[in-house]
Structure 1
Amino acid sequence: MPALEPNPTGGQRTLLRILGVMLAVSVVIGVIATFAAGN
């Protein structure tokens, strides 16, 4: 089954949203850590 579908089912959409949020949080933490280390 494809990783990304044009119209994913509810379960796939929820999983994709969770993964997106986790990725966003990781990026934000990384940026904050970079600025903290830079200062």
Structure 2
Amino acid sequence: MELKRIENFKFEKLRNRKMEEKRNAQFLAYRELCISVNKYF
């Protein structure tokens, strides 16, 4: 029982990190876009 809880916890952390990475990637792409737009205008 305890082992299963630990496995679930690790899985949740991993999933959260994946979502966090995706969000960070989107944010970085957005920032790059803003920087390039500012350069041209």
Q: After TM superposition, is the score higher than 0.5? A: yes
Unaligned runs of 5+ in 1: 1-8
Counterpart for residue 23 of structure 2: 21
Q: CA RMSD in A?
A: 0.6
Q: TM-score, normalised by structure 2?
A: 0.69
Query: What number of residue pairs does the alignment pair up?
Result: 31
Larger radius of gyration: 2
Runs of 4+ in structure 1 over 2 Å off: none
Gaps (5+ residues) in structure 2? Answer: 1-10
Alpha-carbon separation, structure 1, partners of 2:17 and 2:32:
22
* Counterpart check, 1:33 vs 2:14: no
Deviation track 1:1-39 (CA, whole Å, cap 9, x = no partner) reads xxxxxxxx2111100011011110000000011000011
Provide the TM-score with structure 1 as the length reference.
0.72
More helix by share: 2
